[in-house]
Amino acid sequence: MAVNKNVWLKGLKYRGGGPMLAWILHRLGGLAMILFVGMHVFAGFLMQQFGNDFGTAINTIYESPYFQIFLYFFIIFHAINGLRIIITDIWPKLLEYQRELIWLEWFIVLPIYGLAVFIMIQRAVAGS
């Protein structure tokens, strides 16, 4: 009996289209929020206890527009995707329209994210 040595790689193969992408982005959004909160708490601890320059460096990282643009996307996507999941849990008959709901989710996420990025860039250019 031949045993395939690469059996464990088959579970990692991307095969889902929109639903799997939404699943991955939802998990990444949760991790991004944990990273932000962890950095915020750690920097606050360092600043409070030691008045450390390392805490100031961490503050500089998560206050930068690049980090915030990254974080805002994941927060907005995580929130809207969570609402989609809640709606399909309440009305299970909508599960057959999963792909359409994911397209609707993208039509909601992208304008909100675009507006948030526009406001962030506008404030960065204005210097406030």
pLDDT tens for 24-78 read 899 999 999 999 999 899 988 888 888 778 888 888 888 888 889 999 999 999 9
Residue 3, pLDDT score: 55
Contacts of 103 (CB under 8 A, 6+ apart): 18
Give the helix ranges, DSSP H, for the chain.
Answer: 7-10, 18-50, 53-63, 65-90, 98-126
What is the overall mean pLDDT for the chain?
Answer: 86
Q: Where are the domains of the chain?
A: 18-126
Closest among 77, 74, 72, 67 to 39, alpha carbons compared: 67
Contact 80, 108 (CB under 8 A): yes
Contact 33, 74 (CB under 8 A): yes
The pTM of this model reads 0.80
Residue 86, pLDDT score: 95
pLDDT at 7 over 80: no
Which fold, 18-126? 3 helical TM bundles of succinate and fumarate reductases (1.20.1300)
